[in-house]
Amino acid sequence: MKKWIFMALLAASTTSYADEYNYLVLDHNGTVSSVLLDNLQKITFEDGNVVLTTSGGKEQYPLAQMERMYFSETATAIKSVEEDAEKTNVVYDLSGRKVTKPTKGLYIVDGKKVIIK
C-alpha cells in the first residue's frame, strides 16, 4: 500500500513541473543523493526498492528507508569528484599544508611520503 501511495504522490506532484528542474533528489536513510535528469532513463519499484536506471547503470534505494524524493533546480549532493590532471607533483607538509618551495624534511608528494635531504 505504501508503494502505491508513494507512486501516486510522485506522479501527481511532478507531472506538470518536471521540465523546470535538472535533478532528481533522493533523501534516504539520512543521506541525500542527486541524479542529473539528463542521465535518468527510468524509475521503477522492484522488490521493495526504488530503482533508478541511468546512463551509468542501475542504482537501488530501499523504499523503507526513503524519506523524500523530489525534483530540484540544483544538485544537493556530489557523488564523485574528478581529479584535475594538471595538478601533479603537489607537495604537502605533514600537517596537510600545501608547500610551494620545500626545504629539507619529510613531505607528501602525489600521495607518497618523500624525504628531501
Q: Convert the pLDDT of each residue in 51-97 to its tens digit.
A: 888 888 888 888 888 888 888 887 665 555 555 555 567 888 888 88
Can you give the pLDDT at residue 64? Answer: 87
The residue ranges of every structural domain in the chain are 2-72, 85-117
Cβ 116 vs Cβ 105: under 8 Å: yes
CATH number corresponding to 2-72: 2.30.30
For residues 15 and 9, give the distance between their C-alpha atoms in angstroms, rounded to a whole number: 10
Question: What pLDDT, in 10s, does the model give residues 23-62?
Answer: 888 888 888 888 888 888 888 888 888 888 888 888 888 8
How long is the chain?
117
Cβ 112 vs Cβ 89: under 8 Å: no
Nearest to 47 by CA among 34, 58, 31: 58
Q: Which of 17-26, 68-77, 103-112 has the highest mean pLDDT?
A: 103-112
Q: Is the pTM of this model over 0.75?
A: no
For residues 67 and 27, give the distance between their C-alpha atoms in angstroms, rounded to a whole number: 5
Cβ 42 vs Cβ 24: under 8 Å: no
